Amino acid sequence: MNESAAVFAAVYITLHVAHSVGDHWVQTSCQAAQKGQHDRNPGESSRTGRLACARHVATLTVTKGLALAAAALVLDLPVTLLGLTLGLAADAISHYWADRRTTLQWLAQRCGKGEFYNLGTGAHPAHPVTAKGSPAATLGTGAYALDQSWHTLWLGIAALTIAAV
**What is the DSSP code string of 3-38?**
HHHHHHHHHHHHHHHHHHHIIIIIS-HHHHHHTT--
Angle between helices 142-164 and 81-99 (to 10 degrees): 170
Q: Are 37 and 52 in contact (CB under 8 A)?
A: yes
**pLDDT tens sequence for the chain (165 residues):** 689 999 999 999 999 999 999 999 999 999 988 898 886 655 555 788 999 999 999 999 999 999 999 999 999 999 999 999 999 999 999 999 999 988 999 999 999 998 888 776 656 555 666 667 676 666 678 889 899 999 999 999 999 999 999
Q: Rg of the chain over CA atoms, in angstroms?
A: 18
- pLDDT attached to residue 143: 87
All residues at 6 or more sequence positions from 103 whose CB lies less than 8 Å from its CB, including other chains: 97
- pLDDT attached to residue 163: 97
- pLDDT attached to residue 117: 83
- pLDDT attached to residue 57: 97
- pLDDT attached to residue 61: 98
Q: Are 162 and 7 in contact (CB under 8 A)?
A: yes
